């Protein structure tokens, strides 16, 4: 079964808690705090696997969690780091954050992508010892791992996409010019999954061709099978539009040409501007008048026009040569740029509240929504830091700290961030 979309929940491991412990040794009085730090939680990592061709594995498992970090121990022993969870996906998978639709990654290369970072381990009490606080009896909890609901979307990586109504000869063409072996039969919707084939042009020179399941009018609105696979055309550098020159199924090839291009425009305006070569198939069944009428119409539209009889390979070599020549003038396969998840997504959730805990003049502030903003804040960037300060002010946290009696010089601890408070 070909599955090219999936929605899943990923959750990185939580960081382990820091330990509260004191050194105990015979003849050593007041050994001091020696609680170790908690281990970092495991990450959720996506890795391309070329042995996979669909997202079918995600139909039955929707939640993926990495291992938590272990808590710290006495004797300055830090907790063990949680193991990363590696999730393997087909090449060409695009990851989006569901709520904002932001593209988190385009997995078109072999580079692994960390989609959710594990929480940091909490500090043990050894970190809180000062000249005036020599026996701290508290430690810091580990931070929660990142959690996202994401949409996986497979967009095939192909140089050339074959377009056309069902049964016009797309599958026959790809079977003739490559080693791909699609199912071929004389009925509608023979091809129900995209088929990739590598077309060799000689030593070290080749391109990838994709047979997209037949489109029909209304495909962009969900009619027929084409709606499910239009996304696979988006990456193609160019399109080969195949028409039934003879109108053997009672359709006019010119009307077919306009209908398919109309569906491309409705789905994605950019697709209608993608370079196209138009190929008239079934020329053995067409009259000279039909071919001349079609040729004149297509060339008036500004598209290169070719003819073929795919089952006997007549004209296919000219088409392949023309495609290869055009590809040399075109940019590489489209890759989607990573986008930043809008901070407003997290700030909207600040009505979920927060907690403030005071221990030995250290004010611990905790809140899930605030952690997500902090994780996305560059503390070395002045504007980013100013934004975080505005969030603290608008959420009422700073006013709440003042109401609780905080004074200048007291320490505020917000997960990984610690600072001295100033009015």
**Residues 13, 118 contacting (CB under 8 angstroms):** yes
Mean pLDDT over residues 120-144, rounded?
80
Q: What is the mean pLDDT of the chain?
A: 84
Q: Given this model, what pLDDT does residue 223 score? A: 44
* Burial (Cβ within 10 Å: 0-12, 13-18, ≥19) of residue 287: exposed
- For 6-30, what is each residue's pLDDT tens digit? 999 999 999 999 888 888 777 666 7
Contacts of 4 (CB under 8 A, 6+ apart): 54, 55, 153, 154, 228, 229, 231, 232
Contacts of 250 (CB under 8 A, 6+ apart): none
Residue 328 pLDDT exceeds 60: yes
Instruction: Concatenate the DSSP letters of all residues of 346-371 into one string.
Output: HHTTGGG--EEEEETTEEEEE-HHHH
Q: Given this model, what pLDDT does residue 214 score? A: 55
Q: Given this model, what pLDDT does residue 187 score? A: 45
Residue 189 pLDDT exceeds 60: no
Mean pLDDT over residues 57-72, rounded?
92
Q: Given this model, what pLDDT does residue 224 score? A: 44
Mean pLDDT over residues 216-234, rounded?
55
Q: Given this model, what pLDDT does residue 139 score? A: 82
Distances (CA, A) of 394 to 226, 347, 364, 387, 404: 48, 10, 18, 10, 17
pLDDT higher for 57 or 243? 243
- For 103-116, what is each residue's pLDDT tens digit? 999 998 999 999 99
Q: Given this model, what pLDDT does residue 348 score? A: 61
Record the tokens describing residue 17, joined without a space.
């808690």
Find the range with the poorest average confidence among 54-63, 207-216, 340-349. 340-349
Chain-centroid distance, C-alpha 185: 36
- For 71-86, what is each residue's pLDDT tens digit? 998 888 999 999 999 9
CA distance 214 to 271: 16
pLDDT band at residue 194 using 50, 70 and 90 as cut-offs? confident
Mean pLDDT over residues 138-154, rounded?
88
Sketch out the chain's domains with CATH numbers. 1-154 (2.70.210.12), 160-327 (3.40.50.300), 342-423 (3.30.300.350)
* Other residues' Cβ atoms within 10 Å of the Cβ of residue 9: 14
Q: Given this model, what pLDDT does residue 225 score? A: 43
Q: Given this model, what pLDDT does residue 219 score? A: 42
Residue 178 pLDDT exceeds 70: yes
Residue percentage of the chain with pLDDT more than 90 = 33
Residue percentage of the chain with pLDDT more than 70 = 88
- For 279-311, what is each residue's pLDDT tens digit? 999 999 999 999 999 999 999 999 999 999 988
pLDDT higher for 274 or 378? 274
Record the tokens describing residue 97, joined without a space.
């954050």
pLDDT higher for 383 or 241? 241
* Burial (Cβ within 10 Å: 0-12, 13-18, ≥19) of residue 300: exposed
Residue 190 pLDDT exceeds 70: no
Contacts of 182 (CB under 8 A, 6+ apart): 171, 174, 175, 190, 191, 195, 211
Mean pLDDT over residues 62-75, rounded?
93
CA distance 394 to 91: 43
pTM above 0.75, yes or no: no
Mean pLDDT over residues 191-195, rounded?
62
* Other residues' Cβ atoms within 10 Å of the Cβ of residue 304: 15
List residues bridging with 77 in a β-sheet. Answer: 73
Q: Given this model, what pLDDT does residue 1 score? A: 44
Find the range with the poorest average confidence among 35-39, 195-199, 214-218. 214-218
């Amino acid at each position: 079964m070909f599955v090219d979309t999936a929605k899943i929940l990923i959750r990185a491991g939580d960081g382990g808690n820091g330990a509260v412990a004191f050194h105990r040794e015979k003849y050593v009085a007041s050994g001091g705090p020696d609680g170790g730090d908690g281990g970092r939680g495991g990450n959720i990592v996506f890795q391309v696997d070329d042995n996979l061709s669909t997202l079918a594995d995600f139909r039955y498992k929707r939640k993926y969690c990495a291992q938590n970090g272990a808590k710290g121990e006495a004797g300055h022993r830090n907790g063990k780091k949680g193991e990363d969870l590696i999730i393997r996906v087909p090449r060409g998978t695009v990851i989006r954050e569901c709520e904002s639709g932001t593209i988190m990654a385009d997995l078109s290369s072999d580079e692994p992508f960390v989609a959710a970072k594990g929480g940091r381990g909490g500090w043990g009490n050894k970190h809180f010892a000062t000249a005036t606080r020599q026996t701290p009896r508290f430690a810091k909890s580990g931070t929660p791992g990142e959690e996202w609901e994401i949409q996986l979307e497979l967009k095939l990586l192909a140089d050339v996409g074959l377009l056309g109504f069902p049964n016009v000869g797309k599958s026959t063409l790809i079977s003739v010019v490559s080693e791909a072996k699609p199912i071929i039969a004389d009925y509608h919707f023979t091809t129900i999954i995209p088929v990739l084939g590598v077309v060799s042009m000689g030593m070290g020179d080749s391109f990838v061709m994709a047979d997209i399941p037949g489109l029909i009018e209304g495909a962009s609105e969900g009619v027929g099978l084409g709606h499910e696979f239009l996304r696979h055309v988006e990456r193609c550098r160019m399109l080969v539009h195949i028409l039934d020159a003879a109108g053997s199924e009672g359709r006019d090839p010119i009307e077919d040409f306009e209908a398919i291009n109309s569906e491309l425009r409705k789905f994605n305006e950019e697709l209608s501007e993608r370079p196209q070569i138009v190929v008239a198939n079934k020329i053995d069944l067409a009259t000279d008048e039909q071919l001349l009428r079609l040729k004149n119409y297509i060339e008036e539209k500004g598209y290169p026009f070719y003819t073929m009889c795919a089952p006997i390979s007549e004209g296919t070599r000219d088409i392949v040569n023309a495609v290869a020549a055009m590809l040399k003038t075109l940019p590489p396969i489209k890759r989607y740029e990573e986008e930043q998840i809008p901070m407003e997504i997290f700030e909207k959730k600040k009505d979920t509240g927060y907690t403030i805990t005071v221990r030995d003049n250290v004010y611990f502030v905790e809140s899930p929504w605030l952690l997500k903003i902090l994780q996305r804040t560059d503390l070395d960037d002045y504007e980013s830091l100013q934004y975080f300060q505005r969030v603290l002010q608008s959420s009422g946290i700073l006013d709440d700290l003042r109401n609780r009696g905080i004074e200048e010089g007291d320490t505020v601890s917000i997960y990984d961030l610690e600072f001295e408070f100033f009015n």
